[in-house]
Structures are given as C-alpha cells and as structure tokens.
Amino acid sequence: MTGSLLLSGRTPGIDSRPPARQPGFSLIEMMVALAIAGILFFVALPGYQYAVLKSTRAVARAALMDVMSRQEQYIVTNKRHGTRLAELGLPESYYLDNKGEAASAEDSVYRVDLNLVDGAYQGVTARPVNRQAADTDCMAFSLSAIGIRAVSGSLSASPGECW
C-alpha cells in the first residue's frame, strides 16, 4: 500500500486539493453593495423630503378652514367677527404640528394668525415655520373673510396648485 501512494505522487496525510471557499461576502462585494445602497439613499432622499413637505400643506389648509368655520359660528353668536384667536377657542399663539394638532413653537410646522386691518377681521393666514419653511413653492396660505384663497411662494406656484 505504501508503494501505491508513492507512485501517485501524494504525500500521505496531506490533501492536495485547493481549499474550499468559505461562505459569505468578500470585502469588495460588501463595499459594492454599500456604495449602491448609498447612491439609492441619496437619490431617494430629496424626493421623500419634498413629498413630506407637500403632504404637510394639508395641515395649513385644514387649519384655515377650521378658523373660518369658527368665525362663522362666532358671527352667529356675537353678530361680529372674532378679532383674537382666543375668542374662537384657540390659543393666542396658535402653532400646529404635522398632524394638525396644537403644538409648541419648536415642534410646529405652521403658525396660524388672524389678518386684521384697523382692528377689523380680513382673513386668516398659516405661515410655515421650522422645517416646513423649506417649502418655498407654497409658503404662507391665506383665506380671506369672503373665502378667497391665496398663497405666497415661488413664482411657479399658483393658489390652485397649492390649495
């Protein structure tokens, strides 16, 4: 038996086959996958941020409609418009979070104010604050006392696009 091993050219006890590949990923494969994930993240992030800003606009529109509804109720009861948010059952410093609920100034996305001219009610405005201020297309939403909708922002946005 020893003679047959020597004739085959093998040394007894040593395996001459190449070592089997270990399962898993090599460093290069991991780096390529990480680079692809990073590129996808940075391509998708601006689109996601814009979608969040755009969806938060609904908070401003709903708040303005709520204030108008409260004004109408106030008129029925008091025969005049309310000139302070407190008269309408709202906080004097009325800030809204992205869910449309009253919030602190630091956690808010819109601030709602009544528009008064010489003490007379002219309408209501929702101005973006904090992270929502980055929405330059549709900045401040306004609703006049007679229901005219307006928006300030970039020249490309019209009230119809924002409302």
pLDDT digits (tens, 9 = 90+) for 99-108: 888 889 998 9
Report whether pLDDT(64) > 90.
yes
Report whether pLDDT(62) > 70.
yes
CATH topology of domain 30-162: Glycoprotein, Type 4 Pilin (3.30.700)
Query: What is the reported pTM?
Result: 0.69
In three-state secondary structure terms, 115 is: strand
| Residue matched to tokens 């939403």 | 141
The DSSP symbol for 87 reads G
Rounded to whole angstroms, the Cα distance separating 75 from 84 reads 13
Residue 108 burial (C-beta neighbours within 10 Å; 0-12, 13-18, 19+): buried
Report whether pLDDT(6) > 70.
no
Do residues 75 and 154 lie in contact, with contact meaning Cβ atoms separated by under 8 Å?
A: no
